[in-house]
Copies of this chain bind each other. A is one copy, B any other.
Amino acid sequence: MIAYLGVAAGTVSGVMAARRKNMDAVGAVVVAFLTALGGGTLRDMLLGRGPVFWIREEGYAYLTLILAVAFFYSTRLLRFSARSILIPDALGLGVFTVMGVEAGLTDGTSWFIASLMGVITGVFGGVLRDITCNEVPALFSKDMYLYATCSLLGAWLYILTTQVGGMSALALPLTVVFIFLLRLAAVRFNLSLPEPKHSWD
A residues apposed to B, CB below 8 Å: 16, 18-27, 30-31, 41, 44-52, 55, 58, 61-62, 72-75, 78-79, 107, 109-110, 112-113, 116, 127, 131-137, 139-142, 144, 147-149, 192-201
Contacts and interface: CB of A to CB of B under 8 A. Distances in A.
B27 A140 contact: yes
Nearest to A28: B140
Contacts of A107: 51
Contact of A23 (B47, B49, B141): B141
A110 B51 CA distance: 13
Contacts of A58: 110, 112-113
Given A75-B200, A149-B26, A55 B139 contact: no
Contacts of A61: 112-113, 116
A70 to B, nearest CB: 11
25 contacts: A24-B140, A24-B144, A25-B194, A26-B147, A27-B137, A27-B139, A27-B141, A30-B127, A30-B137, A30-B139, A30-B148, A41-B46, A46-B51, A47-B55, A48-B49, A48-B50, A51-B107, A51-B109, A58-B112, A61-B112, A72-B196, A73-B197, A74-B196, A75-B200, A134-B134
Contact of A30 (B16, B45, B140, B192): B140
A52 B43 CA distance: 11
